[in-house]
Structure 1
Amino acid sequence: MQTKNIVELDLTDLPAHCPNPAMPLWSSHPKVFLDLSHNGHATCPYCSTEYQLKAGVVLKAH
């Protein structure tokens, strides 16, 4: 059974992008920026890694 890889982000981790620095070089793909503004959650279209904001983190509108 494969478990989902979920990366929790804080405000200091924004703007969110994948691949992230913790990923090994061999599994790299083109860098994509992820939009967390709608529900605090995004999925990478290349590797399906899920990103979410840590509990209590709130994005502020510009």
Structure 2
Amino acid sequence: MNDKAQMPLVELSAHDLPAYCPNPNMARWSSHPRVFIDVTHGEARCPYCGTRYKLREGEVIKGHH
């Protein structure tokens, strides 16, 4: 089985930026140091827990092309 498919995926709107992990929906017991995730170029992973983050289809980040 593909390792990537097993990692949780968090889809974000432009209003959710800046993206960071652990995100507010994660359990406190499983937290790690906060890291900011750059989703401006597609999907990105948290270096600690592997959670995948990406912008929802059609979302536009103001000021980025």
Category of TM-score, reference length = shorter chain: 0.7 to 0.9
Greater share of helix: 2
| Greater than 4 Å deviation, 4+ residue runs | none
Q: Does 1:26 align with 2:29?
A: yes
- The correspondence for 1:11, drawn from 6, 9, 14, is 14
Deviation at 1:61, TM superposition (A): 2.8
The size of the alignment, in residue pairs, is: 61
Deviation at 1:38, TM superposition (A): 1.8
Q: Does 1:58 align with 2:57?
A: no
How far apart, CA to CA, are the structure 2 residues paired with 1:58 and 1:29? 29
Unaligned runs of 5+ in 1: none
Unaligned runs of 5+ in 2: none
TM-score normalised to structure 1 length: 0.86
Residues 40-51 of structure 1 aligned to structure 2 (within 5 Å):
41-51=43-53
Q: Helix, strand or coil: the match of 2:11?
A: strand
How far apart, CA to CA, are the structure 1 residues paired with 2:17 and 2:41? 15
